[in-house]
Amino acid sequence: MTALSPLPSAALPAGVRSRFIDGINGLSIHILEAGFQAEERPTVLLLHGFPEIAYSWRKIMPALAEAGYHVVAPDQRGYGRTTGWNPDYDGDLSAFRLLNLVRDMMGLIAALERKSVIAVVGHDFGASAAAWCALVRPDLFRSLVLMSAPFAGPPALTPSAKPRPDPVHAALAALERPRKHYQWYYSTRPANEDMWHCKQGVHAFLRAYYYHKSADWPLNKPFRLASWSANELAKMPTYYIMDAALGMAETVAAEMPSPARIAACSWLTDDELKVYSDEYTRTGFQGGLNWYRSRTEGIGLGDLQVFSGRGVDVPSMFIAGRSDWGIYQTPGAIERMQGSGCSAIRGVHLIEGSGHWVQQEKANEVNALLLEFLTTMRE
């Protein structure tokens, strides 16, 4: 396998560098890094979601570095230029369980020669990884910021460590308009091929996907769902509750923005999107999809149940776009987060004019909230 090179500096904001750190839990981890000039700076760790990479934090890193922080954003296991993970659908799925993702980040902190990080910040599925970092090792991850995905706490202790079949899937399939849940679609064997080699190509697929889940798509007007039931879940857009006969590439193709909309998209220019599409064209999507498979197949569920009844006790904050359905896709999660999930939560902020990609769509507002929160951690 040809050794990968760092991201070219021309693709990165001034003051942000790309490099590799080898020998971390079987991985060579690619990171973006800012504010690295002074060793005494407190470190902020930024964890991306799907389908993203470390580059998703490009609008956040310079502001935090300018404010005096050492900022690190890795391509997580399964993503981007990080290597050492198995892209085979039939490979060892246990490598993608949540506690192993925590171990990845513990190894990264150690390799950076940091005793702890002042905050771990996670977006989308990265929020789950960040929450478990803070819950399991509060001495290493001293505060937590979640974006878009609430953390409701560890799973309840059950007689079996294997997940029970969820009748909601049969109920979704039996609707007059048959539907399926996107996370279970992402867990199927064809999902990677459907997106990687889709008719429109990876670049156009990602453009439509990012647009569909952003505030630019005018029908993103989320609200609380009454229950985890087929009729309620089917009220969500098709990027969450898909039409049963379609893959994700076909689903979002119907919402492809016009050339004028694309040209007007300042939060994700076509040159910026090309950084993503070049990476996913090279790697495919299976690494990220394995995170979903680990969840839907209950890989490591018994280990997580060991923490049943516990919550995140370090100071925490939640940020999301007002137009982000991710807040409500699991009914009751945001309420549980503010109760038992995160016992020291210091704010829940829903930013107007933003959808799911809040740190990109409204970077200035996110930076202001992060800096205010981090300042309290330094006092």
CATH for 11-379 (3.20.20.70, 2.30.30.230, 3.30.565.10, 3.40.50.1820): 3.40.50.1820
| pLDDT string in tens for the chain (379-residue length) | 457 999 999 999 999 999 999 999 999 999 999 999 887 899 999 999 999 999 999 999 999 999 999 999 999 999 999 999 999 999 999 999 999 999 999 999 999 999 999 999 999 999 999 999 999 999 999 999 999 999 999 999 999 888 889 999 999 999 999 999 999 999 999 999 999 999 999 999 999 999 999 999 999 999 999 999 999 999 999 999 999 999 999 999 999 999 999 999 999 999 999 999 999 999 999 999 999 999 999 999 999 999 999 999 999 999 999 999 999 999 999 999 999 999 999 999 999 999 999 999 999 999 999 999 999 998 7
Two tokens at 170? 């049969």
Contacts of 118 (CB under 8 A, 6+ apart): 42, 43, 44, 69, 142, 143, 374, 377, 378
Quick one: pLDDT at residue 271?
97
Cis peptide before 155 (omega within 30 of 0): no
Contacts of 214 (CB under 8 A, 6+ apart): 220, 267, 323, 354, 355, 356, 357, 361
Quick one: pLDDT at residue 2?
56
Residues pairing with 28 in the sheet: 83
User: Up-side HSE of residue 357: CA atoms within 13 Å toward CB?
Assistant: 26
Domain boundaries, the chain: 11-379
DSSP 307-318: TTT--B-S-EEE
DSSP 24-87: ETTEEEEEEEES-S-TTSPEEEEE--TT--GGGGTTTHHHHHHTT-EEEEEPPTTSTT-BSS--
